[in-house]
Amino acid sequence: MSVASQMLRTSPSQLGFDPDPLVACIDACLDCTQACTACADACLGEEMVADLRRCITSDLNCADICDTTARVLSRQAGYDAVLTRAVLTACRDACRRCAEECDRHADMHEHCRVCADACRRCEHACDQLLSA
């Protein structure tokens, strides 16, 4: 059981979502934050770093948005459906764009393939929660 799951299940606040997709989305956002941060760092270590500038920027933007999304989703006291929906939509879109950018380099850089996969999982988790 993840920490997000433990914390949400012990919260006295009523959750704005069903707990399972909410926890899945928080966990996917945190995984994506880590993957994108590590991918940007790995890109900086590559010899062809100048060719990876767009990927690095995409990674860092996605990491920041995923981190913020996980934090907003973790705050269920005073849940704001409109704000949460906007954050989830932005996260889904950032993950899609980052996955597309990382895919461009995935054949040459394994870290980009791993990051693209994490971004797709997070995009899917955001979609699932938006549909809930």
Question: How far apart are the C-alpha atoms of 62 and 116, rounded to whole Å?
Answer: 11
Q: Which domain covers residue 89, as residue numbers?
A: 19-131
Dist. CA 17–CA 43, nearest whole Å: 36
pLDDT over 90 at 123, yes or no: yes
Domain assignment present for residue 32? The answer is yes
d(CA 19, CA 5): 8
Position 1 confidence tier, pLDDT thresholds 50, 70, 90: confident
Question: Domain tally for the chain?
Answer: 1
Average pLDDT for the chain: 95
Q: Tell me 14's DSSP state.
A: P
CATH code of the domain covering residue 75: 1.20.1270.360
Q: Is residue 94 in a domain?
A: yes
Q: What is the pLDDT of residue 132?
A: 84
Cα angle vertex 23, ends 72, 83, to 5°? 25
The answer as to whether 3 is a domain residue is no
Q: At what angle do helices 53-74 and 3-10 cross, to 10 degrees?
A: 30
pLDDT at 24 exceeding the cut of 90: yes
User: In residues, how long is the chain?
Assistant: 132
Is 49 part of any domain? yes
- pLDDT, tens digit, for every residue of 68-78? 999 999 998 88
Q: Could you tell me if residue 78 is inside a domain?
A: yes
Lowest mean pLDDT across 10-24, 54-68, 92-106 = 10-24
28-37 pLDDT tens trace: 999 999 999 9
Q: How far is CA 63 from CA 16, 33, 38, in A?
A: 24, 4, 10
Residue 92 lies in a domain: yes
> What confidence score (pLDDT) does residue 15 get?
81
Residue 75 lies in a domain: yes
In a domain, 61, yes or no: yes
